[in-house]
Structure 1
Amino acid sequence: MAIREIDPQEVATLLAQGSVFIDVREDHERASGQAEGSRGIPKAQLEADPAAHVPDHDGRVVLICQKGGRSLEVARTLEAAGYTRLFSVTGGTTRWIEERLPVVVPVQSDDARDFNERYSRHLLLPEVGVAGQQRLQQSRVLMIGAGGLGSPAAFYLAAAGVGQLRIADDDVVDRSNLQRQILHTEARVGEPKVTSAQATLAALNPRTQVQAVAERVTVDNVERLLDGVDVVLDGADNFPVRYLLNDACVKLGKPLVYGAVQRFEGQVSVFDAGRHRGHAPCYRCLFPEPPPPEFAPNCAEAGVLGVLPGVIGLLQATEVIKLLLGIGEPLSGRLLHFDALSMRFRETRLRHDPDCAVCAAGKAFPGYIDYPAFCRAPA
């Protein structure tokens, strides 16, 4: 057979005989160290054009990866391409290190090292990888609210490597916020929430640019806030802002990740009618009119379990990342309910309303309205 599996200790002998030694892992995997004497050529690159890297089909070729699986796959590919003397290191780099064989660290720029180390677990996921992580780094997300929902969402979006978070909130940190708004601390009581959020997230991931906008979202500034962003995360706690965000996102073709909490229950969805007119529902398809205020008290009136916004905010962050990467099945057309007391999730299917005042197919945008007045009107 042209392929033989070998122990790491056998590599030295083969190298002395003039063998070519190739580490087929990705660049980011080799960043923390690779077997001494090996040359880094990622698996896909080597398989695409083996002759460009190893011209001699009859020479000895030793292959190593992390655990031994990928190197064996490459060996089979090379065998099919006519290579006759192939060796795969059993146990890969993991076993190489365990046996205290010499390792070298490739030369990298400080930025590349930071990128590879910080996002190493993302880079291992085929659905993300280097290209996906770079896409996240180039993305812009608008977050409305740096409170209960915005806090956990912002933490994980920054940690995930979203390039720019634009956070809009005109409130200041109050001691009553600290039970659930984990971006803030006791020392920042009285500071603008966006300033507090900016400081917290900069300490977590300096690669993420946080744009602090100490403004309440209104008809006058909503399109400026949405300018250039890829996804909008709704962390608002009132109906006028939710309707305004929905209408602006439909008009401008931005996906809106919705979340809401009250007492022990929360809900999440994705409204993407702006990009999928006539198919995906918008917030108005779910709530054509707001409920009367007495049936929709906010957290200050009804209370909220402190951990509940954490659950819902993390679900929102997950949907944002999926949308940015174009992976998985978003919650568009589905409303996910969570009951913390029973620890149950349930899902409600949402349909596009063909007569929706804002997102009906072929309907021109009707214009912004007086949203506070609309939400005070009898349902």
Structure 2
Amino acid sequence: MSDPMNRDAWLDELRRRVPEISPAEALAWQTRGALLIDVREDAERAAGTPANALGLSRGFLELRIEQLEADRDRAMLMLCGSGQRSLLAAEALQRLGYRQVSSVTGGFNRWKAEGLPITTSTLDADAAERYARQLQLPQVGEVGQARLAAANVVLLGAGGLGAPAALYLAAAGVGRLTLIDDDRVERSNLHRQIIHADARVGMAKTESARIALQALNPRIRIELHDERLQAGNVEKLLAGHDLVIDGADNFPARYLLAAASRQLKLPMVYGAVERFSGQLSVFDPRRDDSPCYRCLFPEPPAAADAPNCSEAGVLGVLPGIVGLLQATEALKLILGLGEPLVGRLLSFDALGMHFRETRLPRDPACPGCGVSATFGGYEDVVRLCSAAS
């Protein structure tokens, strides 16, 4: 619309259909529960946005607004840079059936000139671009992204489960990932452990994983422990983290991990796979209602009854599915979102493509967390597992 006269007539027509309010009025409406939406582009909002405004670029408005606000009667206030795009945005919402839609005259320029409250982005340009789609989620935003950047997650195992979990946690911007694994990359790993590559066969898994993770997100910090989890080092390796992801492939390591996570009050995101099935849960010792790993497996099974992947085999994609779900639970715990799998066991059958959820309540008689349970030290855990093997 290059003709100035036609453009003016078009804007006048929009103003007849769309109510306009001043920035001060918009702020007052916002305090009474109206939703203020900044429809400028991400790069524009990086320099500042009205406090508590939802950032949602004009181009995505119709696609996403119903997911974010389904109430057609809630007051919706559109704001852009100068007050023109917001008219278009408001008209679009009117067409979608929203009944109380207004445009903020003068946009952010006037809002800022009148000294109204502004939130300035704490993210640099790289982070704003890298996490742009995640930042658009109101449940995440800059506050949530800062939580992710400050988070410390330890992963036991850089194999089938640890590989997808680590990749997605790194991509999401978790600030520090600690990898514990004493194994080396073998060619037989590659069909499921997608963090490694053929050129790195023979390399320590921790170093191979670090190469892939830093290539994906050079902003994050990665610590490596090329050693086996043992009674003498388990607390030292886990201390200082916010949660632990269980990617172990043997019961002795899992029982040690479970004991240490209880002692250190660290949530443990459990996952396991075999052949065509997998399972997942969250054990959170910070919660009084949470079961622990030994509520699920009070005693270690005999070695013959619990073969690992090298003995029983596994469909290559299966650890990817379970590891991805573990990463999802970890992100929920860090961000305080949704309902974690505490007190629930999620089982997956790949052949039938079925998910099944089973209640897993805390067992008062559990040898790990029950009313009469006592912790005899990590050497007792080792002896318990040795007796079962």
TM-score (normalizing by structure 2):
0.74
**Size of the alignment, in residue pairs?**
326
Would the aligned equivalents of 2:210 and 2:222 in 1 still touch at CA under 8 Å?
yes
The residue aligned with 1:276 is: 287
Aligned residue in 1 for 2:322: 312
CA distance in 1, matches of 2:220, 2:87: 39
One-letter amino acid of the structure 2 residue matched with residue 336 of structure 1: L
Q: Secondary structure at the match of 2:291?
A: coil
Moved more, 228-237 or 121-130: 121-130
| 8 Å CA contact 1:31, 1:113 repeated in 2 | no
Structure 1: which 5+ runs fail to align?
A: 1-5, 47-63, 77-84, 95-107
Q: Does 1:73 align with 2:83?
A: no
- From the superposition, tell whether residues 45 and 200 of structure 1 become closer, same or farther in structure 2 (CA, over 3 Å): closer
Distance 1:248-1:92 versus aligned 2 partners, 3 A rule: same
**Other-structure match for 1:193:** 205
Instruction: Supply the distance in 2 between the matched residues of 1:131 and 1:266 (Cα, whole angstroms).
Output: 34
In the other structure, the counterpart of 1:3 is: none
Mapping of residues 294-305 of structure 1, within 5 Å: 294-305=304-315
Query: Could you list the runs of 5+ residues in structure 2 that have no partner in the other structure?
Result: 1-6, 16-20, 27-35, 70-74, 93-119
Of 349-358 and 112-121, deviating more is 349-358
- Amino acid in structure 2 at the alignment position of 1:367: G
Q: Determine the C-alpha separation between the residues in 1 that align with 2:200 and 2:43.
A: 38
1:219-263 CA-partner distances (Å, limit 9, x unpaired): 111111111100100000000011111111111100000000111
Contact 1:144 1:168 in 2 (8 A): yes
The whole-number CA distance in structure 2 between the counterparts of 1:267 and 1:343 is: 13
Q: In structure 2, the residue corresponding to 1:244 is in which secondary structure?
A: helix
Q: Hey, what does 1:89 align to over in structure 2?
A: 87
Q: How does 1:238-257 map to 2 (within 5 A)?
A: 238-257=250-269
Deviation at 1:210, TM superposition (A): 1.1
Kindly indicate whether the alpha-carbon contact (under 8 Å) linking 1:172 and 1:193 is maintained by their aligned counterparts in 2.
yes
Q: Structure 1 residues 183, 40: CA separation in 2 closer, same or farther (over 3 Å shift)?
A: closer
Q: Deviations over 1:183-231 (max 9, x none)?
A: 1001100000000000100000111111111111111111111111001
Name the SS of the counterpart of 2:52 in structure 1.
helix
More moved, 305-314 vs 108-117:
108-117
- Over aligned residue pairs, what C-alpha RMSD do you find? 3.7
User: What corresponds to 1:236 in structure 2?
Assistant: 248
Deviations 1:165-193 (A, max 9, x none): 00000000001100100010011000000
Match of 1:337 in 2: 347
The aligned amino acid for 2:77 is V
C-alpha separation between the residues in 2 aligned to 1:201 and 1:93?
Answer: 44
Tell me, what secondary structure is at the counterpart of 1:165?
Answer: strand
Aligned positions of 1:1-379 closer than 5 A: 10=11, 30-33=41-44, 41-42=49-50, 44=52, 67=61, 73-74=76-77, 88-91=86-89, 112-272=124-284, 274-277=285-288, 279-361=289-371, 365-378=375-388
* Kept after mapping to 1: 8 A contact 2:282/2:343: yes
Deviation of the 1:349 alpha carbon? 0.8
> Cα–Cα, structure 1 residues 378 and 171, in superposed 2: closer, same or farther, change >3 Å?
closer
CA contact (8 A) 2:37 2:53 kept: no
Question: For the structure 1 residues 7 and 127, does the alpha-carbon distance in structure 2 shift closer, same or farther, using more than 3 Å as the test?
Answer: farther
Structure-2 change in CA distance of 1:7 and 1:305 (3 Å): farther
Distance 2:386 2:374 in 1: 25
Query: Which deviates more, 350-359 or 230-239?
Result: 350-359
One-letter code aligned to 2:271: G
Question: Aligned pair in 2 of structure 1 residues 26, 228: CA closer, same or farther (>3 Å)?
Answer: farther
Aligned amino acid, residue 240 of structure 1: P
- Following superposition, the deviation at residue 42 of structure 1 comes to 2.3
Answer yes or no: is the 8 Å Cα contact 1:281–1:333 preserved in 2.
Answer: yes
Give the Cα–Cα distance (whole angstroms) in 2 for the partners of residues 221 and 168 of structure 1.
11
**In 2, Cα distance between equivalents of 1:290 and 1:362:** 19
CA deviation vs aligned residue, 1:309-333 (integer Å, no higher than 9, x gap): 0000001000000000111111111
C-alpha deviation, 1:350, in angstroms:
0.7
Which amino acid is 1:42 matched to? P
Tell me the amino acid that sits aligned with residue 291 of structure 2. P
- What CA distance in whole angstroms lies between the structure 2 residues aligned with 1:7 and 1:230? 57
Please tell me whether the aligned partners of residues 7 and 89 of structure 1 are also in contact (alpha carbons under 8 angstroms): no
The normalised TM-score by structure 1 is 0.76
| 1:377 match: secondary structure | helix
